Structure 1
């Protein structure tokens, strides 16, 4: 079961407690909008099929905080004392991994968007540096003593970070290196990687769905099979510099297709920023591990050492915050199909296995780029569709007309983050030609969307100075949008030969809008005031071909009347996003939406 609690309660909870929680049970729902996070599917992959929205803990066993949790909290508190809360949580996440630390979502999303998500994933990078420190300190010890000490340190580190697939995989590989030293045999790193992956999936097959596990596996694989190849190509550079450049390039080659498949985007600054950030990250990881050790042994000394990390951390954070401001920092590639993903990785594997194909690697690279870019170009030339997305207050309409995008309503800050931005990324939209705002739009949302995507023009549909009842707002190719009535919030648009009418007023009566209805109406989008019997009579009279309803609640008797009048209707709250495509008509994008309970 997935349980959430207020922050005031969460800080009082630790492992091995028995709790009684008061709250509301719920069944996780599938997303209503394309591109949105599928919470139900995510929980199912974790083996959870229900949720509890906890309000308070009414009983907890009073057990003394001990073990890994106590040590982890001491390290986190030490870093926050030395660097402040925000910086302390960031360095704690870098050392212990994001699952061991409650990192602010804004910071986590920032690093994900610029391609540095691995910084907060305790994995092979951390284990390699940790073992490097151990080998340096224990140079005079015998291999057997190195093995014992190394295994103890790895177990200790895994315990601190928690049972995370990526760190377990790295620890198993690190152990194989230690064993190889004792036996005086060279470790087959690739074999160790495959064996560790097999063992972990045998223990918990659900980890196959863990994106962090897959990315960690691919990144390590890239270091073993592709990084040496790139280093040879960079033999004109000093070896250490060539290695620093080769590692992020190799990792990006193998992980970027999977990242684009899940997140529908790519950053052109991914490789350059990774190259520049690597020395800082290494300094922070090494310095963080050393200071964490002293925080546990001599807290005051550990805090003093941690303070040295302030400026390197600030440089990393400030640089990361500047990347999203640059052009092409986030390029939406759209939804990559599973078949395309398989073809891309098949090409990469073929180049790796076949030395003959390695000579023509640039041809494989061009094919991969073509597989990603050609669908985007084809969409811009041919695609014509309208999508009605569910918003918190009013629906959001996205019109795609052969590369030109018109957006009616931006929605709230929450809508932008969880509905609009994921949809634009999934559709491969990197520019909006026209944003049309209505009575419901606030300035904060506009400022947020302008930072996320390029917008050519913004038009206030009901501007007090320019508005008149026949004011034509947009006319691009086959799209015409008009404002019909400010008070009633009535908008009419025509795309090709289809006529849409959107009524979004709270103070309406049938007579005030009957003048805007006609018998040739193809789609009526209804939001705002709840439907009543009088409205049903009006709809029966004018018989729009399709009725789309966007309200939080729809009474059962209204549903019955709509069915009795043989009106074809959709309810966004139940059916999710609605889409119109020529020759296909209007249909919900999700056919498995749960009935509203």
Structure 2
């Protein structure tokens, strides 16, 4: 057994040990596998490595898992997140900016702040605490005009509200707390004002100055969004985030072209290709030195991102092979580069960009040659244009399904069509960037030549992004399914018999994903009250059919409703009911949630509240959007009953509004916001059913109304519940839930009520 083979086995054991941290006691399971392999394989496999190597591999896997746990960030005793007294208070935090700021969807600037000092603002019942030394990393957002001039390592003071991040409130939602913890941060700051800590000491040079020189030069004649778009294709979107709109990033991600905006192996390969071509007549050492300098320079510009570092290490290995005049084994180079990076930072094993970069590169190395051989009847250039996106998509698709729960049917086609444009823009962008460093005006002139390729590529992505079915939700897949899918891919790669019968593996893979989702949908009945900030939102899943009650505002639709639908594999809403009435300016904002949903999903039947809407233009656009997807728009009449699957819905009062649901054997009642006098009139008027489940906004409810309703369960779609109302409900022995505290509330006939977040208030269920 050669030393190289032994090294490869140990590298694999290290990576598998890191991956095993996804399971409890995973490292010890790897050790057990190593011991078992040492005892069995040498007896069954004549060419098996020695027993000691399998034992060593098992111990390496265990050590890798322990090393990962040791490197997981934890807040120090003086971490800024440990200052509970300062939470939800207006404070001033001093520190240094880490990394490049970026633009959020809410048109605020976000950046990381390495905190060094905390100054607490005087409160009515709190003493002043000035100059307290702290450590830690903060997730900071500030108004647009306050953050556009910030740059890395700048010393600043930010005044704002300190808060701790919350875990996901809705199934399929973004876990903000876990995201910050992965980045080594445990608190956030919603900033109001930014001041320079020391203007005279402020650094005026850094990699950021070179980046800005390139971005400004390319944007000067290209304009927006083409200028930042070209810069992103050269430097990566992470370094151009402040100038590249989130809508552009979302569009490219939706059609499977997100890699075009990410700094990765393509840029490194392009740089090395240009450098080695220009220095081909020089000595190997000169080529090596030029290549190393070019890679180092690009690494400084793009920043130490995991995919860039992976590509840089592999590029460095190729240069070493060039000098040594030895043939490099790409697979070994990929494995060694991944191991080196994970030794430096084992937490990158959980970084999605690192995982996708590694898998895409693996696919290019092992699958492209086989695809090229099968397409030998095509011209080589055309065959490679087709083979590369197929191979990369094949190896990254299972992970994308696991992470995003959606698939882009047009991904391969878009990648094939856009290859020429991406290549032209990338090469031209690099030439323009180099020229901008010497003479910005020359860089602008060269970048101006890329306007039409960049504009055409954006239009191409917009076209495919608006096609029906541009993204299909397949639902959440389990870790076991993910492992099984990659097991099938590896079997097709390694086993010759299955390699020739790849279609058989494809059928099994589709069955592994589709059958569990289909079976669950066909038998599931579940009611979900989503955790929302303002308007109550409910989804009813009934044997594959879906009803949506209200949409919330655009942010609620984008970050709560759509992620939940993606997780459940829902691509069509069968019934939708909008209950808000007498729209005010704030409610007009809420209406836009329907527009956000209709951009992504069709609604077969849309039932609208008949009360007049102040925003008639918005209502007309919703009508048009529903009908454009072959849906039916109609208004509900007061007293009208609608059947949505096995659930009966009755509009009792349109103005307030009041809506009754008969869900299985339960009676649910939705109450809109009611002033006390309206509640009194409603209770006196009568006609209200005794509600087993009361669903309302958390505002005060009068004793008379509660006496009429007599709810057994009360669900408040709000961050808090009126204290008097909560006291009355508990005295009546009702179960009380709040989406602000408990997260989304789900009910099934067999499991009763369950919360997304654990709560001690309701330990048992009535159902």
* TM class by smaller structure: over 0.9
Residue correspondence of structure 1 range 188-587 to structure 2 within 5 A: 188-440=329-581, 442=588, 444-462=592-610, 468-472=637-641, 474-507=642-675, 508-513=678-683, 515-519=686-690, 521-527=691-697, 530-532=699-701, 534-535=702-703, 538-539=705-706, 542-587=709-754
Once residues 387 and 555 of structure 1 are traced to their aligned partners in structure 2, the CA distance between those partners, rounded to angstroms, is 23
Is the Cα–Cα contact under 8 Å of residues 550 and 571 in structure 1 kept in the other structure?
yes
- Say which of 212, 215, 219 aligns to 1:73: 212
Indicate how the Cα distance of structure 1 residues 559 and 524 shifts in structure 2: closer, same or farther if over 3 A, else same: closer
**CA positional deviation for 1:594:** 12
Q: Greater shift after overlay, 474-483 or 433-442?
A: 433-442
Number of residue pairs aligned between Structure 1 and Structure 2: 590
Is the Cα–Cα contact under 8 Å of residues 396 and 408 in structure 1 kept in the other structure?
yes
**CA positional deviation for 1:477:** 3.6
> Tell me, what secondary structure is at the counterpart of 1:55?
strand
Once residues 540 and 335 of structure 1 are traced to their aligned partners in structure 2, the CA distance between those partners, rounded to angstroms, is 43
**CA positional deviation for 1:124:** 0.5
**CA positional deviation for 1:430:** 0.4
2:278 maps to what in 1?
137
**CA positional deviation for 1:5:** 2.1
Post-superposition CA distance 1:126-165 (Å, at most 9, x none): 1111111112111101111100000000000000111111
- Say which of 252, 258, 272 aligns to 1:117: 258
Is the Cα–Cα contact under 8 Å of residues 169 and 200 in structure 1 kept in the other structure?
yes
Indicate how the Cα distance of structure 1 residues 23 and 477 shifts in structure 2: closer, same or farther if over 3 A, else same: closer
**CA positional deviation for 1:422:** 1.0
Once residues 457 and 477 of structure 1 are traced to their aligned partners in structure 2, the CA distance between those partners, rounded to angstroms, is 12
> Tell me, what secondary structure is at the counterpart of 1:33?
coil
**CA positional deviation for 1:560:** 4.2
Q: Greater shift after overlay, 437-446 or 385-394?
A: 437-446
Is the Cα–Cα contact under 8 Å of residues 392 and 412 in structure 1 kept in the other structure?
no
**CA positional deviation for 1:206:** 2.0
Post-superposition CA distance 1:178-199 (Å, at most 9, x none): 1101100011111111111111
Once residues 667 and 595 of structure 2 are traced to their aligned partners in structure 1, the CA distance between those partners, rounded to angstroms, is 31
Post-superposition CA distance 1:409-444 (Å, at most 9, x none): 122111111111111111111011121112246454
Is the Cα–Cα contact under 8 Å of residues 557 and 593 in structure 2 kept in the other structure?
yes
> Tell me, what secondary structure is at the counterpart of 2:185?
coil
> Tell me, what secondary structure is at the counterpart of 1:446?
helix
2:157 aligned with 1:13: no
TM-score (norm 1): 0.95
RMSD: 2.1
Is the Cα–Cα contact under 8 Å of residues 433 and 455 in structure 1 kept in the other structure?
yes
**CA positional deviation for 1:542:** 4.6
Once residues 669 and 194 of structure 2 are traced to their aligned partners in structure 1, the CA distance between those partners, rounded to angstroms, is 49
TM-score (norm 2): 0.74
> Tell me, what secondary structure is at the counterpart of 1:393?
coil
Once residues 463 and 54 of structure 1 are traced to their aligned partners in structure 2, the CA distance between those partners, rounded to angstroms, is 40
